[in-house]
A and B are shown apart, each in its own frame.
Chain A
Amino acid sequence: MDEVKLIVFGKLEEVMGKNELVWSLPIDVRTLRHELENKFPTIRKVQFAISINNKIVSDDVLIKVGDKIALLPPFSGG
């Protein structure tokens, strides 16, 4: 099965209950966001950036099998 690995940071780690997930291949970043929001409805309120292979990307970027994807919420503490 075509899969990608998701690495999760900060607040999202608590929302999703783990810091790594295997996810079946979404077409692009926008689709991945929708799928994540369906599975974890509370993340709709959380802003986060998404990176593919350590490059922060916009929502229209395509995702390939084996891509390493990170979900990066902002931190505010100081």
Chain B
Amino acid sequence: MDFEKYQRQISIPKIGVEGQQQLLDAKVLVVGAGGLGCPALQYLVAAGVGNIGIVDGDVVSKSNLPRQILFYESDLGKLKVECAKENLTKLNSSANISIFPFYIDNKNAIDIIQLWDVIVDCSDDFATRYLLNDVCVILEKPLVYGAIYGDQGQIAVFNLKQENNFSTNYRDIFSNPPAKGEVPTCEELGVLGVLPGTIGVLQANEVIKIITNLENCLANKLFLLNLSTYDANTFEVMKNSTVKYPSTITEFEQFDYESFCGTSKNEMDW
């Protein structure tokens, strides 16, 4: 262990050498190397998370640069995962970084997700969010969710059992997606880089809490932050037993997430 590098973290009594070793041993998958994923990756790699996976099929475009500050002008047109790996390696060469230069779908998700300890949802569309939620429920993987809208952000930790032995997930809050086009994207609505910057860093914070067993992680809670007013609210999430969604690998692989999120208030039927 590089004690000099991690001295400020090891000095935190609740982390110490043991917590730093847990970070070095951890395997964290970040889905989406965009506004949320970039800052999450930078802080996770800098903190010494030893094994990092990055899933994204996109290339770096000019309009990414004001908020995806892991990327440079010289990265334009190149695959995000390759640039991310190169730039993160400059930040911390001891990180073992695996890249997946494509989008996650219900055919490749099981093989990818099962390799990792903690999954971070830094995606930007509902189909990926529902897909990631469901696969993480099936494989019992903790999922650190983050999403933004306008000047507001949401964060939660799903599938992490607490003392009372129950865990909640995205479907317990939002059982079905909104109608397609009903919630504008960042492209349509605009976004200041500091919002995903803040929310992505807070997702990294939750990942570190999970890995090092720090208390007060956002399991069974949904946290909302408004960067304009600085209003912050935490909501308790309860198990919603009436919600139906794929609960086996077979059901998951047969479920069409694109059309599920393209239709309104749909009743699921299989």
Q: Enumerate chain A interface residues (CB-CB to B < 8 A).
A: 7, 9-11, 45-47, 49, 51, 54-58, 70, 72-78
Contact = CB atoms under 8 A, between A and B. Distances in A.
Give the top 10 A-B pairs by smallest Cβ distance, nearest first: A78-B124, A75-B149, A75-B147, A77-B148, A77-B186, A55-B236, A47-B178, A78-B36, A74-B174, A10-B149
Interface of A: prevailing SS: mixed
26 contacts: A10-B149, A10-B152, A10-B183, A11-B184, A45-B182, A46-B178, A47-B176, A47-B265, A54-B233, A56-B238, A58-B238, A58-B242, A72-B222, A72-B235, A73-B183, A74-B147, A74-B183, A75-B154, A76-B185, A77-B147, A78-B32, A78-B35, A78-B36, A78-B121, A78-B123, A78-B196
Nearest to A54: B235
User: How many of chain B's residues touch chain A, expressed as a range?
Assistant: 35 or more
B158 to A, nearest CB: 13
A76 B125 contact: yes
B237 A56 contact: yes
Contacts of B211: none
Interface of B: 32, 34-37, 121-126, 129, 146-150, 152-154, 172-174, 176-179, 182-186, 189, 191, 196, 222, 224, 233-238, 240, 242, 264-265
